[in-house]
Chain A
Amino acid sequence: KNQVEQSPQSLIILEGKNCTLQCNYTVSPFSNLRWYKQDTGRGPVSLTIMTFSENTKSNGRYTATLDADTKQSSLHITASQLSDSASYICVVSLTGANNLFFGTGTRLTVIP
């Protein structure tokens, strides 16, 4: 069964601190993995996309890593800001398929 699991479900950190979010997937055959940020009441916005051959990709203060062998990915946020408060969603797509498999997200709250 194709599944995407994320941990933790929720996380509260102080402004300026770093954090790491985890994603494990069982989707196969794997094509690519994406991290999205979803603000409350808004649609998801893409942060990174990685294929199976990529180990890491950065987008500003966001750095995603991928281990295709263990089927794990992480999203590291550096020097968090209040505007980072959102849900972070791990999304995996199948080779040759059109649909995406979404995790339930990690709800991050950054407090001053």
Chain B
Amino acid sequence: NAGVMQNPRHLVRRRGQEARLRCSPMKGHSHVYWYRQLPEEGLKFMVYLQKENIIDESGMPKERFSAEFPKEGPSILRIQQVVRGDSAAYFCASSPPSRGFYEQYFGPGTRLTVT
């Protein structure tokens, strides 16, 4: 059973370009979470999605950022018109559908560098 997969692992974009980060959850997991880790800081929650639904996007900037988790295919975190401050590691985690507290399994992250 493959773990959470993210690609690309490293992404370089110029200011103003778009960045697309992909996350394939573990098999059988229908919940996906995106986190951002700025240098020297802890991970910060961005968004929580289930298949075809955004459940909680309270941690995601209102502008330029969007996320989706379609019925088929990976979850996508999209950043439009990137700025230098978007440079960070973006981690995706997934969990199985269950009540109560749940384990989140993290992917290896995508390191975005904006030049």
* A in complex with B: yes
Q: How large is the interface on A (under 10, 10 to 19, 20 to 34, 35 or more residues)?
A: 20 to 34
What total of chain B residues lie within 8 Å of the partner, measured CB to CB? Answer: 24
Asked if A104 meets B40 with Cβ closer than 8 Å, knowing A42-B109, A99-B59, the reply is yes
**B65 interfacial contact with A, CB 8 Å:** no
Shortest beta-carbon distance from B60 to chain A in Å: 11
Shortest beta-carbon distance from B39 to chain A in Å: 11
**B4 interfacial contact with A, CB 8 Å:** yes
Q: Which residue of A lies closest to B46 (CB)?
A: A99
Q: Which residues of A contact B4 (CB under 8 A)?
A: 43
18 additional contacts, CB 8 Å, given A97-B56, A101-B45, A104-B42?
A41-B109, A42-B108, A43-B91, A43-B109, A44-B91, A45-B106, A46-B103, A46-B104, A49-B101, A51-B101, A93-B101, A98-B33, A99-B45, A99-B58, A102-B35, A102-B42, A102-B43, A105-B42
Give 9 closest A-B pairs by Cβ, nearest first. A43-B106, A99-B45, A102-B42, A102-B43, A104-B42, A98-B48, A98-B56, A44-B106, A32-B101
